[in-house]
Structure 1
Amino acid sequence: MTVSSTPTKSYSFANPWQQHAVWLSCFLVVLAVTFFDTIASMVSVWSRSDTFTHAFLILPISLWLVWGKREALADIAPRHSLLGVVLAGIGTLIWLAGSLVDTLLLQQLGVVIVLIGGIWALIGNEAAKLLLFPLGFLLFMVPMGEELVPGMMEFTADFTVAMVRLSGIPVFREGLYFSLPTGNWSVVEACSGVRYLIASTTLGFLYAHLTYRKPYKKVLFILASILVPIIANGFRAYIIVMLGHLSDMTVATGVDHLVYGWVFFGLVIFVLVTVGNRFSDDVSEDSEGSESVRNTYSPATHRLGGVFAILMMVTLSGPALAYFSDNRATGKQLAELPVLVDTGVIQIAYPWAWQPNMVGGGITKQGYRYEGKTIGVVVQHFASQRQGEELISWNNTLLSTENDAWRTLSQSKASIGLNGTPTDVTRTEISGATETLIVLSWYRVGDTYTTSRLKAKLLEMIAKVTFQRLDAAWIVTSISVEDRNFASDEVRLLEEFSTKAVTTIEQELDRAASIR
């Protein structure tokens, strides 16, 4: 008997890769130390939010994908790339912008981009191209997507109400609340389907990469992994409402409907993957490394060291600028609302059981009697802003998502005269158990008014970069109405009062900003 053996090719990272690994390790240590708070904030979100628990798996999956490319990487000589430095620079700018406007999401996105850019810079273009997906997949570590919740809640409510009506059941809808003959329902954050969407999208990208070679198949499956959960969540909500309706509100009205939701989502993903598998490609031979040959390596240690030095300067520049900006002198916080100098205004205690959900800053509230009507005023003031103490935050809302006593009936734009100039404000109608309020609200960043959360953030960033005043405020006025359909007089009074009050309030805000 003749025994033949096929020589096994040994793939090992020789000195070139070892040298680059040293520089890469140094970069990772500097990155971890410099951006420790940002990285810790990501891990904190993964830990406390069920929506992003899967993010703990992203880095291990990326490392596993890199390990699968080890044979192809062994045939590539590592280089360095200034394009990677440019990408790291873009990440640093994003992180800096997030730091200046106290937005953790931008800081987290920036750090991950710096990580990807730094790895690219220290392994070269060819190796980075081979690792394109494992590196890009790291972006799923960023806990982003919750900003889609309001839009997804609205879509879910629209879809559910439309389907119930198609089923021949009468529905009365008011915002995100709707009533059937058998009971009342509301669409809350857990019903938005965002957590299903984020999980499905992450799985869709990974599955498409592992299953298909043709780009159009990858794109189609990724689109399906995004669209199918959105539609499926609408059907999930409809099914739960119908179960509750047909069982006379004895089924799917509590925690059990969340369980039904995850079971339904699991079935949807199973069907999606099963259908996708029918069109899978043969990926046993990866075309990315099948024809590569070992390149001649020229150490050029001084060049690699130079690229590393530039990368370090780019990476550290953002935190340095942020530190310099955050340590500027600021004014004082508004202690109380001023007395309005007007013969027609009487100052009283704040009149409502409701007040905006405000976290951080100095919060002052006051009630007034004006032309026989009661008006409430609340001002949230920040002498300066930092993480956790910021004007634009998901915590600062007219209504808390955890408070079922009040609900939004409508929201629109209105215009009042501020300093003689017509200025847009947000007009919101809210309803409680015993009263309905019309609320006007707007932001003041420095001495500029806006209703846009995005513009307020941009104004904050510009103020920090250009060394302007750093104070900001959220001003909220409100009046009670007996019938929201006949509230024109109350609206006129509130707009008139707000115009008068803001002149005195802004004088106090300007005075507080000037105190050092």
Structure 2
Amino acid sequence: MEVKLQKQEVWQRVAPFMVITIIVAIYLPTFVGLSAQWTQWDESLSHAYPLLLWFLVLLYKVGPLCHARQNLWIDLLLAIGLVVVSICWFLFNTIQIKILEQLILLPILFLALAFAFGVKILWQLRFLLLMPVFALPIWDYLNNTLVQLASAVVGEMVRMIRIPALIDGSSIFIPSGHIMIADGCSGLRYLIISLALGYTISYLNGYREKGLILSLLIAGALGLLANWIRIFVLILVGYYTEMQSSLMEDHETFGWIVFALICFPAIYFAPVIKRVQATTGVAGESLGSKRVLLLTLLLMPGFLMGKLVAATNDTTAPTYSLGDIGFVSHTSSLPLPPSLPAARLTRKFIAPNNIYLQINQYIPQTPRDRLVPYIARQYDSQFWLQESVKVIVVGGKKVRVEQLRQKSGLKRVIQAQWFDVGGYTTATVAQAKLLQIPAVLSGKQYFSVFTLQAECMQLDCDKTLQSLLHFSESIQ
């Protein structure tokens, strides 16, 4: 009898890991993509593998988990939910919306565990099961905002101590050099890791919802503060050593020292709440093989649909009418060439008043190619500052208009840009990503980027802007 109970306990401890293994096996393409990001050790998700290992250790410690019988209607709703999220995964994977494809893994995990062990167990483990969110790349979307915040805070700190410096956006010019608050200085890594530490401490210390939220707020503030102090100290070092200190070239270790000095005392003094860990024990019913098989089948629709999707794309690049207002082909670059992924076809034109037009066209050739490629910042923020940006309607289409200024200079460039995704036009990359769905379903798998530019000849750029909009209206 004792041997039987020991085997039952082992199975109940292993069962949740079997569910996770099934999920990884079925949705392997997504995990392969995540693994590529997790192994970039100098990026924002370099902590992912240690965090996930710790998550698995904690999941093992809450065991053994048994299957709790529940109402048939609940099982039916969970089964429908599993099929729906599986199909959603297929859709996101097919149209290459990576962030949604990765995020859908969380509801897949929640529904799978609820189906396998019961909703009651899922509720008991709700705090633990949210921990993997700190290993997903959703946080990268905060990077630009954090750069702007760091620039504003550090700039104000420099003004307070009255160092002779010119603060221009994310650039700080001191007499001996130029210090750029670039993407790597946003503090994103410190923020995510501090939030993950705060969340882990909250879980281990038994905090409830209010305590968890307060802990995350404090952790996030400390992570950002550590980054701001790091940048400020580097500016002081650069000023007083005339940019000759080795710290100006290699300050990675210095940043983590500052982070540790600020965050570790907070970890040590975090209050502990004694609690009794709720477990189901080995006396309950174990997860049966039939339910495991049924769970696997419910997770399969998205995988099977992916295998049935056509692997070829016969779409040809469309042609566009440029109107009759003077566009002619040319080979010279735009005043500020945008940083765009390599296109299948790139065409350049010029019109009177030095209005430049560039059309980049993309057509995926394999299922792994994105219809809308990844488009990050299109200009070097070390040398250019975005003075204004707005979306307006011109000629029945939305156009994103930016005014850019060269840092520590007077050169200004006006840019009007829009996208065509399978016949659907939009002015933002985010909307272009969503428009992939109707484009793929309609069979028109092409993506075009229209970029109009002109250099301002007046300080206010109004005449240049009106001229640019007039030419963009003629393009259909």
Give the TM interval when normalised to the shorter protein. Answer: 0.7 to 0.9
Q: Which one of the candidate residues 202, 218, 221 is aligned to 1:227? A: 221
Shift of 1:13: 4.7
Question: How far apart in 2 are the matches of 1:23 and 1:147?
Answer: 32
Partner SS for 1:121:
helix
Query: CA 1:130/1:106 → structure 2, altered by over 3 Å: closer, same or farther?
Result: same
Question: With structure 2 as the length reference, what TM-score do the two structures score?
Answer: 0.84
The aligned length equals: 468
Partner SS for 1:148:
helix
Partner amino acid, structure 2, of 1:38: T
Instruction: Choose 433-442 or 240-249, whichever is displaced more.
Output: 433-442
Given that 1:85 and 1:121 are in contact with CA atoms closer than 8 Å, whether structure 2 keeps it comes out as yes
Partner SS for 2:244:
coil
Shift of 1:152: 0.3
Q: Which one of the candidate residues 256, 272, 296 is aligned to 1:312? A: 296
Partner amino acid, structure 1, of 2:422: G
Map of 2:55 onto structure 1: 62
Map of 1:393 onto structure 2: 374
Given that 2:23 and 2:109 are in contact with CA atoms closer than 8 Å, whether structure 1 keeps it comes out as yes
Map of 2:38 onto structure 1: 46
Partner amino acid, structure 1, of 2:28: F
| Unaligned stretches of 5+ residues in structure 1 | 1-8, 504-516
Partner SS for 2:435:
helix
Shift of 1:129: 4.1
Partner SS for 2:104:
helix
Instruction: Choose 194-203 or 325-334, whichever is displaced more.
Output: 325-334
Structure number with larger C-alpha Rg: 1
Q: Which one of the candidate residues 191, 198, 207 is aligned to 1:204? A: 198
Map of 2:171 onto structure 1: 177
Question: How far apart in 1 are the matches of 2:161 and 2:17?
Answer: 61
Map of 1:135 onto structure 2: 129
1:18-417 equivalences under 5 Å are 18=11, 25=18, 28=20, 30-50=22-42, 51-70=44-63, 73=64, 76=66, 79=69, 82=75, 85=79, 88-89=82-83, 91-169=85-163, 171-251=165-245, 254-276=248-270, 279-283=271-275, 286-289=276-279, 295=283, 297=285, 305=290, 307-308=291-292, 310-325=294-309, 327=311, 329-333=313-317, 342=324, 344-352=326-334, 354-370=336-352, 373-384=353-364, 387-391=368-372, 393-395=374-376, 397-399=377-379, 404=382, 406-413=383-390, 415=392, 417=394
Shift of 1:332: 1.0
The root-mean-square deviation of aligned C-alpha atoms, in Å, is 3.5
Question: With structure 1 as the length reference, what TM-score do the two structures score?
Answer: 0.79
Shift of 1:179: 2.5
Shift of 1:68: 2.2
| Unaligned stretches of 5+ residues in structure 2 | none
Shift of 1:271: 2.2
Partner SS for 1:53:
coil
**Which structure's relative contact order is higher, taking Cα pairs within 8 Å and 6+ residues apart?**
2
1:403-453, Cα deviation, whole Å (9 max, x unpaired)? x5x4234231254632xx363322232538895422111112233322122
1:127-184, Cα deviation, whole Å (9 max, x unpaired)? 4444444433233332331111000000001111112112233543333223244532
Query: Would you say 1:478 and 2:468 are equivalent positions?
Result: no
Given that 2:52 and 2:135 are in contact with CA atoms closer than 8 Å, whether structure 1 keeps it comes out as yes
Partner amino acid, structure 2, of 1:440: A
Partner amino acid, structure 1, of 2:217: L
Question: How far apart in 2 are the matches of 1:170 and 1:118?
Answer: 60
> What percent identity do the matched residue pairs reach?
17
Question: How far apart in 1 are the matches of 2:329 and 2:285?
Answer: 80
Partner amino acid, structure 1, of 2:159: R
Question: How far apart in 2 are the matches of 1:342 and 1:327?
Answer: 40
1:345-391, Cα deviation, whole Å (9 max, x unpaired)? 44432244742212144241313141xx2232222222358654342
